[in-house]
Amino acid sequence: MLKYILKRLIISLITIWLLATVSFFLLRSLPGNPFQTEVLLSAEVQQRMISYYGLDRPLYEQYFTYLGNLVQGDLGYSLKYVNRSVNSIIAESFPVSAELGLRALAFALPIGLALGVVAARRRGKAADYMSVLVAVIGISVPSFIMGTLLQYGFSVKLGWFPVAQWKGWEYTVLPSIAMGLGLLATLTRLMRASMLEVTTQDYIKTARAKGLNERQIVWSHQLRNAMLPIVTVLGPLVANVLMGTFVVEQIFAIPGLGMHFVQSVQSLDYTMALGLTVFFGAFLVAANFIVDLVYGVIDPRIRVAD
């Protein structure tokens, strides 16, 4: 096991290096430069800024400089927020996004799984169709509509919550729900399908035949096996959710990371975009690693480690 973990760790580092490399060259292959903003700069000024930031040096040279800094954990300075380092922006924004994401998960995960189980157990009955409805609303009403409607209803009309910003517990409720509903829906649908998949398996029939009661069957046989597809999606899902969502953060004016992911690529803020990519990459690689380990816990027959 230890050997496997060590091997995975090395492979993870290689993955992140490849990711940084691919992203670096793809990003730099986009037309345009970071100094083409809505406030128009002349061609000469653009050129001067390009050489000030060393972006006119040969690309491989910039690449090695970047890698050198990356190894030391230095992601460089943003080209848009010129006096803020990417490290400090991530340090400031990530906790906010992560908190929002965790709250959304804390809301969505238990309810979503429970709904999925109930729907599968009451398949074809009213409870099942209710869960389909909840799921469909969750999926097809995207978070930007949900967020806007929640905000309008509960903040503007009813005045129960603050309209926007991120300054305390009461500020987190609506954005967490707006973000969580989509997750909840996804989890409900997957859990239902997955539960149905295992319901007809032989070992369930065996369990029933040997006289186990329903509760035991559901808890120790069905759920456990039905969790596998959930765990698979949960890895990248958690990574994604913690990294922030552009839309919800925008509607509720939350100073999270989501906005930076979009803006940095859009405005060609190379250092920022690369820094975020590498940060997200490290996170996702770790999440998928954990997922693979959890596979073994859930179903010991699975040996990813081979």
What residues between 249 and 278 interact with other proteins by CB under 8 A? 250-253, 255-256, 259, 261-262, 265-268, 273, 276-277
The correct pick among 10, 45, 59, 67 for binding other proteins (CB under 8 A) is 45
Question: Can you give the length of the chain in residues?
Answer: 306
Sign of the Cα pseudo-torsion (223, 229, 230, 234, in order)? positive
DSSP state of 162: -
Joined together, the tokens standing for residue 76 give: 């460089």
Residue 77 bridge partners (DSSP) = 85
Of residues 118 and 189, the one with the C-beta less far from other proteins: 189
Q: Is 31 in the site for other proteins (CB under 8 A)?
A: yes
The correct pick among 62, 74, 85, 212 for binding other proteins (CB under 8 A) is 85
260 neighbors 157 (Cβ within 8 angstroms): no
Sign of the Cα pseudo-torsion (242, 248, 253, 257, in order)? positive
Query: What is the closest distance, in whole angstroms, from the C-beta atom of residue 200 to other proteins in the complex?
Result: 4
The correct pick among 1, 2, 3, 32 for binding other proteins (CB under 8 A) is 32
Q: Give the interface segment with other proteins, choosing from 28-36, 56-64, 66-74, 207-215 (CB under 8 A).
A: 28-36
Q: How many residues bind other proteins (CB under 8 A)?
A: 135
Of residues 58 and 202, the one with the C-beta less far from other proteins: 202
Q: Is 97 in the site for other proteins (CB under 8 A)?
A: no
The correct pick among 5, 9, 10, 11 for binding other proteins (CB under 8 A) is 11
Q: How many CA atoms lie within 13 A of 64 on its CB side?
A: 4
Of residues 68 and 95, the one with the C-beta less far from other proteins: 95
Q: Is 103 in the site for other proteins (CB under 8 A)?
A: yes
Joined together, the tokens standing for residue 304 give: 């990813």
Query: What is the closest distance, in whole angstroms, from the C-beta atom of residue 148 to other proteins in the complex?
Result: 6
What CA–CA distance (Å, rounded) separates 22 from 27? 8
For residue 284, CA distances in Å to 201, 214, 241, 279 come to 32, 37, 11, 9
Closest CA to 256 of 138, 170, 145, 171: 171
Q: Residue 222: what residue type? A: Q
Distance of CA 120 to the CA centre of its chain: 27
Site string (50-69) toward other proteins, x via CB under 8 A: --xx----------------
DSSP state of 159: -
Q: Is 216 in the site for other proteins (CB under 8 A)?
A: no
Q: Is 99 in the site for other proteins (CB under 8 A)?
A: yes
Residue numbers 144-183 binding other proteins by CB under 8 A: 144-145, 148, 151-152, 155-156, 159, 162-169, 171-172
Query: What is the closest distance, in whole angstroms, from the C-beta atom of residue 195 to other proteins in the complex?
Result: 11
Give the end-to-end CA distance of the chain in Å, rounded to a whole number: 10
Q: Is 210 in the site for other proteins (CB under 8 A)?
A: no
